[in-house]
């Protein structure tokens, strides 16, 4: 491409920065009144035309940390202590009470002032030793903070001294690697610089220009169809929400209705109505997040009494938990540990409406006091399902689960016997994780025990139930190796991640 053709394709920002292209970016911004992003964009366009070459350098820059920002405004802790001493000349150590300083800052301040010989500690007393000139003079550390940001490799001896004194103190300063970009004209660029680039070229034709014919006799800028343009990232739903929408679609296609419920609930719905014993470890604060100083209400007196009978072994053929059921324990308020509490609440509505058969599902957040690792989180999504039908059987349960998991992309599954307080028989569902070459538990399922169903219906009606961990299910599709990556909200990854389409 010849010089004339290139010049005709130069955009307004390229022409604007061209006279200053070899200066610092800050200076280019100042002279052209363009922001840094526009200047860098112009650099990229000029580089693509072989007019400039870009030079990238990394340097370490010292800047204010969180405490540094605070101290720059309110003064360093040692300055605050010094100001207190100016008024009193001496202070008893135990009586130091400065609003701006905590105990640790007082200790650090004493060490700094003593090292500078500005104070003396005599037994329990702190005595001011500094002269008036020393008190009015800014310390090297104070000057240093005011001068930031600074290049680590270009410090003066005084700045180095202050840096050494501050670098080990908590969050006063921080060092960041900063990438500097500068430009240099190529041989081709030097040839172009000899031409007059001030000529105005028309970028687009407007209605006014057509009406007034003002475009006549003027040059149009040539289209540059070869240079790369910035990628456009359209708005889209978070990938977890995409997967939730897809899962809901699967359940609805299988004839299920959606059920919803509150995240905050009582222990009655979260545990007791599901025949979880009141001394079960899951009800400890080590496993469940309870809301302190709050008591819930159990509005259905009949259901409460039936649940009490179930726990105490006075219902059906079951023996219960052989203990006295305490209503106060059931009134404790918690953040739900599973979406199965929604299933319990919907069973009440089904029993009142005599809605048989009934099929419901939910997808929602749950919270447990878990140790966080690659496969566990204290906050996670669960997909819940129940089928209430007098003819329901265990084989149908496998059918529903197998269909759902296969549609979610899990082809290799295994079901193994398990125990849950509220289902019998029960199964654990595992999915094969190719990345880690191991089986990963993705949820539990089973049929509600009579101790759960009789309080609601007055008799035992078969209820199929399941509650797989939804976040673990979608890890496979998105090739996420660590559950903790799911909610980091890394903007680059969110832009690149694929849509949930199976």
Query: How confident is residue 95, by pLDDT bands cut at 50, 70 and 90?
Result: low
The number of C-alpha atoms within 13 Å of 426 and in the hemisphere containing its C-beta is: 15
Query: How confident is residue 94, by pLDDT bands cut at 50, 70 and 90?
Result: low
Both structure tokens of 425:
């028989």
pLDDT in the model for residue 201? 81
Which range has the worst mean pLDDT, 1-10, 233-242, 273-282, 299-308?
1-10
Higher pLDDT, 380 or 490: 380
Residue 278 pLDDT greater than 80, yes or no: yes
pTM for the complete prediction? 0.61
Query: How confident is residue 99, by pLDDT bands cut at 50, 70 and 90?
Result: low
Helix 140-147 crosses helix 66-74 at what angle (to 10 degrees)? 110
- DSSP SS3 for 175: strand
Q: Could you tell me the domains of the chain?
A: 1-59+165-230 (1.10.10.10), 64-164 (1.10.10), 241-496 (3.30.930.10)
Closest-CA residue to 101 (of 125, 120, 126, 76): 76
List CB contacts of 450: < 8 A, sequence separation 6 or more.
Answer: 316, 317, 318, 460
pLDDT in the model for residue 442? 87
pLDDT digits (tens, 9 = 90+) for 370-429: 777 776 778 889 999 999 999 999 999 999 999 999 999 898 999 999 998 899 999 999
Closest-CA residue to 483 (of 351, 371, 315): 371
Closest-CA residue to 179 (of 14, 36, 29): 36
Please give the share of the chain, as a percent, with pLDDT higher than 70.
97
pLDDT in the model for residue 321? 86
pLDDT in the model for residue 116? 83
End-to-end CA gap in the chain: 46
Please give the share of the chain, as a percent, with pLDDT higher than 90.
41
pLDDT in the model for residue 118? 82
Residue 138 pLDDT greater than 60, yes or no: yes
Please name every residue paired with 382 in a beta bridge, in sequence order, or none if there are none: 364, 469
Which range has the worst mean pLDDT, 46-50, 60-64, 114-118?
114-118
pLDDT digits (tens, 9 = 90+) for 46-61: 998 889 999 988 889 9
Q: What is the DSSP letter of 131?
A: -
pLDDT in the model for residue 502? 56
Closest-CA residue to 43 (of 59, 31, 55): 55
d(CA 164, CA 186): 42
d(CA 441, CA 475): 12
Taking CA atoms, 441 is separated from 191, 386, 413, in Å, by 67, 20, 10
pLDDT in the model for residue 317? 67
Q: What is the DSSP string of 319-388?
A: -TTSSPPPHHHHTEEEE-S-THHHHHHHHHHHHHHT--SEEEEEEEEEE--PPPBTTB-SEEEEEEEEEE
d(CA 378, CA 144): 43
pLDDT digits (tens, 9 = 90+) for 16-25: 898 899 998 8
Please name every residue paired with 295 in a beta bridge, in sequence order, or none if there are none: 332
Do 220 and 83 contact (CB within 8 A), yes or no? no
pLDDT in the model for residue 433? 81
Secondary structure of 239-261 in HEC code, one letter for each residue: HHHHHHHHHHHHHHHCCCEECCC
Average pLDDT, the chain: 87
Closest-CA residue to 289 (of 341, 338, 335): 335
d(CA 262, CA 274): 17
Strands 423-433 and 438-448: antiparallel
Do 9 and 15 contact (CB within 8 A), yes or no? no
pLDDT in the model for residue 1? 60
Higher pLDDT, 448 or 77: 448
The number of C-alpha atoms within 13 Å of 272 and in the hemisphere containing its C-beta is: 29
Higher pLDDT, 2 or 140: 140
Beta-strand runs (E) in 123-222: 125-128, 150-151, 173-185
d(CA 248, CA 485): 23
Do 192 and 7 contact (CB within 8 A), yes or no? yes
Q: State the Cα torsion 274-278-283-285 to the nearest 10°.
A: 160
């Amino acid at each position: 491409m010849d010089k004339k053709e290139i010049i005709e394709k130069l955009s307004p920002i390229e022409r604007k920065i061209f006279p200053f292209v070899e200066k610092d970016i800050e200076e280019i911004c100042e002279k052209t009144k363009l922001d840094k992003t526009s200047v860098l964009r112009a650099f990229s366009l000029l580089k693509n035309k072989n007019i400039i070459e870009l030079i990238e350098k990394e340097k370490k820059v010292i800047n204010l940390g969180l405490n540094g920002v605070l101290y720059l405004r309110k003064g360093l802790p040692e300055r605050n202590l010094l100001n207190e001493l100016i008024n009193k000349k001496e202070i008893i150590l135990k009586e130091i009470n400065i609003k701006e300083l905590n105990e640790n800052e007082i200790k650090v301040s004493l060490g700094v002032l003593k090292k500078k010989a500005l104070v003396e500690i005599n037994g329990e007393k702190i005595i001011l030793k500094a002269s008036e000139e020393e008190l009015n003079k800014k310390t090297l550390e104070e000057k240093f903070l005011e001068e930031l940001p600074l290049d680590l490799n270009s410090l003066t001896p005084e700045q180095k001294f202050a840096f050494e004194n501050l670098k080990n103190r908590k969050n006063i300063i921080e060092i960041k690697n900063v990438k500097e970009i500068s430009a240099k004209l190529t041989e081709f660029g030097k040839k172009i610089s000899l031409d007059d680039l001030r000529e105005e070229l028309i970028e687009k034709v407007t209605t006014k220009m057509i009406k007034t014919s003002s475009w006549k006799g003027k040059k149009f800028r040539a289209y540059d169809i070869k240079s790369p343009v910035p990628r456009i990232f359209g708005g889209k739903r978070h990938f977890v929400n995409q997967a939730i929408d897809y899962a809901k679609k699967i359940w609805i296609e299988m004839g299920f209705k959606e059920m919803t419920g509150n995240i905050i609930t009582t222990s009655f719905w979260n545990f007791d109505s599901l025949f979880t014993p009141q001394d079960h470890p899951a009800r400890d604060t080590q496993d469940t997040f309870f809301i302190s100083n709050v008591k819930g209400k159990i509005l259905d007196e009949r259901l409460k009494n039936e649940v009490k009978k179930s726990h105490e072994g006075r219902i059906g053929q079951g023996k219960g938990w052989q203990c006295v059921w305490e209503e106060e324990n059931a009134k404790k308020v918690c953040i739900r540990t599973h979406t199965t509490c929604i299933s319990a609440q919907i069973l009440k509505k089904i029993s009142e409406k005599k809605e048989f058969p009934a099929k419901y599902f939910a997808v929602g957040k749950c919270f447990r006091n878990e140790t966080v690792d690659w496969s566990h989180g204290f906050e996670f999504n669960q997909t819940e399902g129940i089928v209430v039908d007098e003819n329901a059987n265990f084989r149908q349960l496998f059918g529903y689960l197998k269909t759902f998991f296969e549609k979610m992309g899990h082809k290799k599954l295994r079901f193994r016997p398990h125990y849950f307080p509220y289902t019998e028989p029960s199964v654990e569902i595992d999915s094969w994780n190719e990345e880690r070459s191991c089986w990963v538990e993705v949820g539990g399922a089973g049929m509600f025990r009579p101790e759960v169903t009789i309080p609601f219906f007055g008799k035992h009606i078969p209820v199929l139930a399941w509650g797989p961990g939804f976040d673990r299910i979608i890890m496979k599709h998105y090739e996420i190796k660590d559950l903790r990556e799911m909610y980091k909200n890394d903007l680059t990854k969110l832009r690149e991640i694929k849509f949930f389409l199976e």
